[in-house]
Amino acid sequence: MRLINNMWNYRHLTLKLAISEFKLRYKNSILGFFWSLLEPLLILLVLYIVFTNMMRINVEHYQLFLLMGIISWNMLSRGTTMSLNSILGKPSLVQKVYFPREVLVISSCITALLMTLLEFIVFGIFMLVFNVAPGMTIIYFPIVLFVEFLLILGLSFGLAALNVYYRDIQYIWGVILQAGFFAAPIIYPISIIPEKYVWIIMLNPMTRIIDMLRGSVIYSTSPVLGDGMFIVIAAFGIFVVGYSIFLRLEPGFAEEI
């Protein structure tokens, strides 16, 4: 209840901080906002060349398959990475101005979401180029994307709070993100993983989220009910744990910074 009230009462501040952070991210760069579009495309180009010519991965609409995976993972990576220093990086605000500290974390996650939405515009252009039209299953896309946002928000609350007390968290999380990029089926389909290891990969909610986003937009397949329930429960559980950590550690933020 507290979080909902704070989000509503401070919605204008949250949005203003999110937009300001979005603008500052590309301040003094020549291409500006276009970097948010070029980044996934450059990664796509490199990975596409490597995995189509060297690894010989045979996946229908592999360009879109790969781009969807990159964009989805980038949303998680950006959201959590930016949120890590959302408290620690604003000492003057935290120590001198009173407002709910949740606003700083939420605004960082919204910034990551805005960047992702821009990338999905490019994704739509790619679909037109490759003559792939989404079916009715695209209605599941915003639902799954919201679940991913909830997952990111939960992780961000926990990471931002812990990073204030334990600065090693940012380095540990960076390593986890790098490992997770290759552990999740972003550049390869789940079908190439030995069956006895599939259950391990499926424990990662991002595996199912990426798979559902691809299915709903590219392949016109509806999410499996079991997978849908799993990601909702996982995202909500991580959110509750992350926010609980945040509330527990919040009183000492000003002193620790």
In this predicted model, what pLDDT tens digit does every residue of 50-107 receive, in sequence order? 666 655 677 888 888 988 999 999 999 999 999 999 888 877 777 777 778 899 999 9
Whole-prediction pTM: 0.89
> Exposed, middle or buried by CB within 10 Å (0-12, 13-18, 19+), for 232?
middle
Average pLDDT of the chain?
A: 86
Average pLDDT over residues 210-221: 96
Nearest to 146 by CA among 116, 118, 188: 116
Residue extents of the structural domains in the chain: 2-256
Nearest to 153 by CA among 188, 116, 185, 108: 108
Which residue in the block uniquely carries the two structure tokens 């798979």?
A: 211
pLDDT (0 to 100) of residue 1: 62
Q: Are the C-beta atoms of residues 230 and 208 closer than 8 Å to each other?
A: yes
Count the residues in the chain: 257
The percent of residues in the chain predicted with pLDDT above 90, rounded, is: 51
Residues 6+ apart with CB under 8 A from 62: 48, 51, 52
pLDDT (0 to 100) of residue 58: 77
